[in-house]
């Protein structure tokens, strides 16, 4: 079977890959720059403050990004996620997001942020047409927040989460990367948040990706174990899966919970058979799988005068190369670990 792209004038275009998966979701890493230096994203040296960054010329410009998104949406992409690095640190980002809001056929614009600038931007994000916000938060303790991120701003992030709720995002999703021996003693506190507030607290398996040296078999904790631990704090009532949940399995912690908890298992129960994603890295490389290093240089096409047709063909080439699945769980058993490209450029 070939990559299919059907675009009859009477129906919405649909992109299908070699394994009959519909590709409808594009993740854009807007910048590799970040105002935090999380231990799972960067090397120990970088955590101390020596971040290696792309130059401005290496990043795709907003015009280039808009052009790619327009072509992609005309091919069948309906959902977009802005990520990074930290998307909200890019200069004039609100103007860019508003321009995305004007693209016909793009119904769903989401953002993943560390929340540091959310207090300032939450209402603007709503006005610009962002539909959902995910905030990465790995601890509820200010001192530990500093240890994990290298910056002392837990309170600021928490105010950002409150502001996102006040701005009307519902639910606000919190993403916690669970690391044994680092933050797994906070599982109960995080789960409890979902009882009291309309938050979807998602527990993510720590992946051996990026520059971090922190990943090893002992820091990794499987979703099954996380779920079992959380099940001790209350009954986990399964919720019907909605499109907006992505790969998360979602539950209510007790019938009266205002929010929900979700479990994301990229390693132990991977969701490759349902993967609908394509990624564009901050330096303009198309990546069809988070856990495969193969990328196609779209920036070269854009900067050598490529036509929309050539952009379209490059997107199709990337989708055609999308692997059936990643073999990470097996590799880890056999080799004890494997690390790939820089998370800040890929965008998670
Ligand atoms: N700066 C934004 C933020 O903090 O949400 C967006 C970029 S961050 C790289 C995107 C997501 O990747 C975050 O939710 C982060 O927790 C997750 N992430 C990064 N490294 C990870 C790893 N090794 N395993 C699991 N998740 C990871």
What is the 181 CA–ligand 1 centroid distance (Å)?
19
Q: Which atom of ligand 1 is nearest to the CA of 175?
A: 14
What is the 6 CA–ligand 1 centroid distance (Å)?
33
What is the 2 CA–ligand 1 centroid distance (Å)?
32
Of 29, 112, 223, 328, best ligand 1 pocket probe by most atoms within 8 Å of the beta carbon: 112
Percent of the chain clearing pLDDT 90 (strictly above): 76
290-309 mean pLDDT = 95
The residues near 346 (Cβ < 8 Å, ≥ 6 apart) are: 29, 209, 279, 281, 287, 290
> pLDDT-derived band of residue 347, with 50, 70 and 90 as boundaries?
confident
All CATH 3.20.20.70 domain ranges of the chain, comma separated, are 1-113+274-348, 114-205+223-264
Query: Which one of 3.40.47.10, 3.20.20.70, 3.40.50.300, 3.90.76.10 gives the CATH number of domain 1-113+274-348?
Result: 3.20.20.70
Q: pLDDT tens across 196-218, in order? A: 999 999 999 998 886 666 788 88
Of 88, 182, 343, best ligand 1 pocket probe by most atoms within 8 Å of the beta carbon: 343
User: CA-to-CA distance for 53 and 135, rounded, in angstroms?
Assistant: 23
Q: Which atom of ligand 1 is nearest to the CA of 346?
A: 9
DSSP calls for 126-165: HHHT--EEEEE---S-HHHHHHHHSS--HHHHHHHHHHHH
326-335 mean pLDDT = 65
327-336 mean pLDDT = 62
Residue 10 pLDDT: 57
Above 60 in pLDDT, residue 256? yes
User: CA-to-CA distance for 333 and 179, rounded, in angstroms?
Assistant: 18
Backbone dihedral region for residue 138 (phi beyond 0: left; psi -120 to 50: alpha; all else: beta): alpha
Residue 312, classified by CB atoms within 10 Å of its CB into exposed (0-12), middle (13-18) or buried (19+), is: middle
7-11 mean pLDDT = 61
Residue 297 pLDDT: 98
Residue 340 pLDDT: 57
Within 10 angstroms of residue 233's Cβ, the number of other Cβ atoms is 16
What's the pTM? Answer: 0.94
59-75 mean pLDDT = 98
* Ligand 1 atom 10 nearest Cα: 348
User: CA-to-CA distance for 201 and 57, rounded, in angstroms?
Assistant: 37
User: CA-to-CA distance for 236 and 268, rounded, in angstroms?
Assistant: 20
The residues near 225 (Cβ < 8 Å, ≥ 6 apart) are: none
What is the 32 CA–ligand 1 centroid distance (Å)?
12
Above 70 in pLDDT, residue 330? no
What is the 213 CA–ligand 1 centroid distance (Å)?
15
Of 37, 41, 341, best ligand 1 pocket probe by most atoms within 8 Å of the beta carbon: 41
> pLDDT-derived band of residue 162, with 50, 70 and 90 as boundaries?
very high
> pLDDT-derived band of residue 329, with 50, 70 and 90 as boundaries?
low
Q: What does the H/E/C string look like for 265-305?
A: CCCCCCCHHHCCEEEECCCCEEECCCCCCCEEEHHHHHHCC
Lining residues, ligand 1, CB within 6 Å? 34, 40-41, 83-84, 86, 112-114, 136, 175, 177, 204, 206-207, 209-210, 343-344, 347-348
Classify 114-205+223-264 by CATH class.
alpha beta
What is the 320 CA–ligand 1 centroid distance (Å)?
26
Choose among 242, 233, 135: nearest CA to 189.
233
What is the 136 CA–ligand 1 centroid distance (Å)?
7
> pLDDT-derived band of residue 38, with 50, 70 and 90 as boundaries?
very high
Q: Which atom of ligand 1 is nearest to the CA of 205?
A: 25
Of 118, 134, 348, best ligand 1 pocket probe by most atoms within 8 Å of the beta carbon: 348
* Ligand 1 atom 5 nearest Cα: 113
């Amino acid at each position: 079977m070939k990559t299919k792209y059907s675009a009859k004038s009477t129906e919405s275009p649909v992109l299908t890959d070699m394994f009959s998966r519909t590709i409808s979701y594009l993740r854009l890493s807007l910048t590799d720059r970040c105002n935090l230096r999380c231990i799972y994203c960067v090397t120990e040296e970088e955590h101390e403050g020596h971040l290696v960054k792309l130059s401005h010329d290496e990043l795709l410009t907003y015009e280039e990004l808009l052009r790619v998104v327009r072509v992609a949406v005309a091919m069948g992409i309906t959902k977009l996620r802005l990520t990074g690095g930290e998307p909200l640190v890019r200069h004039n980002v609100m103007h860019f997001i508003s321009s995305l809001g004007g693209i016909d056929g793009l119904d769903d614009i989401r953002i993943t942020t560390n929340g540091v600038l959310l207090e300032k931007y939450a209402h603007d994000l709503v006005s610009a047409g962002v539909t959902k916000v995910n905030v990465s938060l790995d601890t509820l303790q200010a001192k530990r927040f500093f240890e994990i991120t290298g910056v002392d701003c837990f309170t600021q992030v928490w105010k950002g989460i409150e502001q996102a709720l006040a701005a009307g995002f519902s639910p606000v999703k919190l993403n916690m990367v669970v690391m044994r021996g680092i933050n797994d003693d906070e599982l109960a506190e995080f789960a409890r948040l979902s009882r009291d507030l309309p938050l979807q607290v998602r527990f993510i398996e720590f992946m051996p990706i990026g520059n971090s040296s922190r990943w090893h078999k002992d820091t990794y904790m499987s979703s099954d174990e996380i779920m079992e631990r959380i099940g001790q704090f209350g009954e986990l009532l399964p919720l019907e899966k909605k499109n907006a949940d992505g790969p998360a399995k979602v539950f209510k912690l007790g019938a009266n919970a205002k929010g929900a908890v979700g479990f994301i298992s990229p390693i132990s129960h991977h969701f490759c058979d349902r993967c609908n994603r394509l990624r564009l890295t901050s330096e303009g490389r198309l990546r069809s799988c988070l856990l495969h290093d193969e990328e196609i240089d779209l920036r070269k096409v854009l900067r050598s005068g490529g036509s929309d047709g050539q952009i379209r063909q490059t997107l199709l080439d990337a989708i055609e190369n999308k692997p059936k699945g990643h073999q990470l769980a097996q590799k880890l058993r056999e080799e004890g670990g494997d690390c790939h490209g820089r998370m800040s450029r890929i965008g998670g």
